[in-house]
Chain A
Amino acid sequence: MICQECKQRPATMHFTKIINGEKTEFHLCEQCAKEHGDMFMFYENDDFSLNNLLAGLLNFQTPMKEMTTNTFSGPDILQCETCKMTYHQFTQIGRFGCSDCYRTFARYLPPILKRLHSGNTTHSGKIPKRKGGVLHLRKQIFVLKQKLQELVAREEFEKAAEVRDQIRSLEYQLRQRGEGEM
């Protein structure tokens, strides 16, 4: 097989890229693969790590052109006030500096999270007891509302009415708690 990039040397590196189920195959020679370094993080075996892989993934964010022409544009200069980490640093090391980074970089996170978590951007698991109360209620209401829609779609109206009443009572509790806390 001949390298698909230079069409001269034999292809010795074979990659399969799968993004959202879409499969693309690459057959490259060593040299062209090296030039594609960013795309094929696997190449540099010495420091192959999740870290690099992730940083590579995050770097996909910024189109290559933008990065080379003007490093100080766009999200790169965004800096977290608490830990002083910049968005650029984050994309380099693939780790946040503190919990506030999530808020600071919030605008740029959804595509990254989607890519890492099969399209998901919202937590639906455990809630710490301390946050408890109000948050638990809101979560329950959210889940019940989804259930309500499903039931209506399936025309199971009796069950749907039950769920609706549950939601109402939870919303009542939520209002009371809210007022209590204020």
Chain B
Amino acid sequence: MSFEKFFNTAVSSWMSQEGPDSDIVLSSRIRLARNIVDFRFPTVFSSEEAQQIVSLFEQTFAHRSYHSVGRFELLKMSELQPIEKRVLVEKHLISPHLAEDSPFGACLLSENEEVSIMINEEDHIRIQCLFPGLQLTEALEAANELDDWIEEHVNYAFDEKLGYLTSCPTNVGTGMRASVMMHLPALVLTQQINRIIPAINQLGLVVRGTYGEGSEALGNIFQISNQITLGKSEEDIVEDLQSIVKQLIAQERMAREALVKTLNIKLEDRVFRSYGILANCRMIESKEAAQCLSDVRLGIDLGYIKNISRNILNELMILTQPGFLQQYAGGALRPEERDVRRAALIRERLKMEERKNMEGDE
């Protein structure tokens, strides 16, 4: 696969495919933090050390294939344009920290974009597996395999008592962060979410809006992840997270049913108004776009809107971020120009659905 294709094929597999419970769970992710023995951590290492690590990965893993995920390509941060980096961040393939503050950062990206291995971020190695729907166990299995594969070539910093040693004490132990991205519009609409978030926090899990800043969750999309990494096994952490996620799914489904019963036509009206905005707007800010997309997606899940694919929310939440819009436009854009582009891109995408349906009817 060519380098260009990474950027031009905007949609990764986790956005376009469906997984278990994907009416509510958009994606599942496992991240493992690892460091190499005898190298100082990226916070203080020298450029020689950094380059040695990058070349190790370049020689050992780049252009190689691994089972189902396909070939790996190595992308060096220093060789990418700012917009290209931004696009990778918006697709959740690399972290903002790697893109902006890691001069010796690199990323091994698998062909299907399910796996990205960040190099020289906060830790030497961060293995990330991103799967559609609720597939934490599957993602953990994949991450473990990759971890073993890498370990064939490097010596990990590990302590018998403390586990995998990481740059930040919040990651020591398993070095694992498991997270799930969920669309919870009914819990937000019924305000139950305000009660649920503190309860989840008390169970040692973190809830935050995936998009947007602070507590605000753009598009009613929430990310739930484990807080602690020490003292619990990877399997236990994943199991605990999974059981909370399952309860949330059940609560969201119940809230949706209740909304349909109590609001009925009002809810349908809201969904179609949002659809109307998306299909006709000539300028739209990201906040409004996110809310409308969330409404439309809820409408699809509830069966009000037919013939539009579900993944439109995942796709458009990602493709309407500033980096992508600028790539789509082929250059830098002022905020106002972005709103115009965003509106155009959304209309274009909805027309694509219409065309698909017309072809289907014939």
Contact = CB atoms under 8 A, between A and B. Distances in A.
Contacts of B176: 125
A130 B155 contact: yes
Interface stretch (B163-171, B181-189, B250-258, B296-304): B163-171
Interface centre among B37, B147, B160, B227 (most CB of A within 10 A): B160
B174 A123 contact: yes
A127 interface: yes
Majority secondary structure of chain A interface residues (helix, strand, loop or mixed)? loop
Contacts of A98: 39-41, 44
Contacts of B157: 99
B348 interface: no
A54 B231 contact: no
Contact of A128 (B151, B172, B229): B151
A118 B231 contact: yes
A120 B232 contact: yes
B174 A113 contact: no
State the majority secondary structure of interface residues on B.
loop
Interface in A99-133: 99, 102, 109, 112-113, 116-131
Nearest to A143: B233
Interface residues of A, number: 34
Contacts of B170: 50, 54, 116
Interface in B38-97: 39-41, 43-44
A95 B231 contact: no
B122 interface: yes
A138 B174 CA distance: 18
Given A96-B167, A109-B169, A130-B156, A125 B232 contact: yes
A173 interface: no
Contacts of A95: 41, 43, 122, 167-168
Contacts of A116: 169-170, 228, 230
Interface of A: 50, 54, 82-83, 85, 93-99, 102, 109, 112-113, 116-131, 135, 138
Given A118-B228, A125-B173, A128-B164, 18 more contacts: A50-B170, A96-B43, A98-B41, A99-B41, A99-B157, A116-B230, A117-B230, A118-B204, A118-B227, A121-B162, A123-B162, A123-B164, A123-B173, A123-B230, A125-B232, A125-B237, A129-B148, A130-B155
